[in-house]
Homo-oligomer: A and B are copies of this chain.
Amino acid sequence: MKIGAKHYRSIWFNDAKQAVEIIDQRWLPHELRIVELKSLKDFASAIADMWVRGAPLIGATAAFGIAEQIKKDPSDASLNEAWEILHETRPTAINLRWALNDMRDLLKKMPEAKRAEIAHNRALEISDEDVECNRQIGLHGLEIIKKIAANKNPGEPVNILTHCNAGWLATVDWGTATSPIYHAVEAGIAVHIWVDETRPRNQGAQLTAWEMDSQGVPHHLIVDNAGGHLMQHGDVDMVIVGTDRTSAHGDVCNKIGTYLKALAAKDNNIPFYVALPSTTIDWTIKNGVLEIPIEERHSDEVTKVWGKLENGSLGAVQISPDGTPGSNPAFDVTPSRLVTGLITERGLCEASREGIAGLFPERVLD
């Protein structure tokens, strides 16, 4: 999407520099920093330390990481090492494993002399596939927004609540949850976005609000506590969120707090949609609440908040007493019974084994 007048992806190969570049998202919304990723360590840090985040972008970054490593050393040992190092960076996002397996399985079959070129092209292709996938998600989601807009009074926007950042910054472009929003804006439909700040890392405040501001989409930032109240009072027409891992039966593992919004949507008869590329579906998992491992992150993310200081520099404030420890589960799982529907690149389906299998019959394991 655009930043000012220029179109960006969140990761790209710079032909002039012969290097992978990313937007280092740790500095948004306050600074736009673009950095090169060179070594395997760079790629691993970029994922683990959240220079890039969002399940689809993590997958694309991992694919580029394999490709760059293979250019240096095309051996099986090198490939396996890269797979291991990149795989352990983030435990929850399933796209990471998907992208790593895709690259490894492809390259293992190829002669070493050809691996660099094949890996490079496949990483680019994974990026392009992600963009097209998200475009399709947007077109399918647009139909839902159109129907809601048709029932609003003239001039009233469709109020959409979203949690965390499932925006173009979480993917290669378009985003998952935001793709229907951007497509609605392009179609001339009035929308207004409630942006959950999404503590502890505030991806909503830092990234989704920045995306909305950059694209000129009307929005308000709200604390994560506010969505239920807004839903009780008719101020939310729909919820769209992304997912880091979706069980084969339709349970949705997404940023911590998603489950609370799904409960509130259900309690107020508000549609709750999850937008996802099918690469986030973990076909081996049925019961998401019981089976999906939840990353526990550092206590500091809870006890401190990062942002722009009054003097314009960037820094953190500690919000709690020195003696108070934080506990920091990073994701939760929303049971399928709370999900109105899944918006995938192949269309809309029910959040159930039957619904998912209907769209992706060739991938079902059981």
State the A residues within 8 Å of B (CB).
29-30, 194-195, 197-200, 202, 205-206, 209-210, 212-213, 219-230, 232, 255-257, 259-261, 263-264, 267, 289, 294, 302-310, 315-321, 323-329, 331-333
Contacts and interface: CB of A to CB of B under 8 A. Distances in A.
A259 B230 contact: no
Given A199-B197, A224-B223, A225-B257, A317 B327 contact: no
Contacts of A225: 198-200, 224, 255-257, 260, 332
Contact of A259 (B259, B264, B294): B264
A318 B202 CA distance: 11
In the complex this chain forms, how many copies of it are found?
2
Given A213-B324, A230-B329, A304-B307, 19 more contacts: A29-B320, A194-B327, A197-B199, A197-B302, A198-B225, A199-B199, A199-B225, A205-B319, A205-B324, A209-B320, A209-B324, A213-B323, A225-B260, A228-B259, A229-B329, A306-B317, A307-B319, A308-B317, A309-B309
Nearest to A227: B260
Closest 5 pairs (CB-CB, A-B): A225-B257, A307-B317, A229-B332, A29-B321, A199-B223
Contact of A325 (B220, B227, B289, B323): B220
A210 B321 contact: yes
A194 B199 CA distance: 16
B206 A319 contact: yes
A86 to B, nearest CB: 26
18 contacts: A29-B324, A200-B225, A202-B320, A205-B303, A205-B320, A205-B324, A209-B320, A221-B326, A222-B327, A223-B256, A226-B327, A226-B328, A229-B259, A229-B333, A305-B307, A305-B317, A309-B317, A310-B315
Contacts of A318: 307-308
A318 B228 CA distance: 24
B263 A267 contact: yes
A170 B226 CA distance: 22
A264 B315 CA distance: 34
A223 B329 CA distance: 9
Contacts of A319: 197, 202, 205-206, 305-307
A162 to B, nearest CB: 14
A263 B224 CA distance: 15
Contact of A260 (B212, B228, B303, B315): B228
B259 A329 contact: no
A227 B260 CA distance: 9
Contacts of A213: 321, 323-324
A203 B226 CA distance: 15
**Which residue, of A198, A206, A317, A327, has the highest number of chain B Cβ atoms within 10 A?**
A317
Contacts of A209: 320-321, 324
Contacts of A200: 223, 225
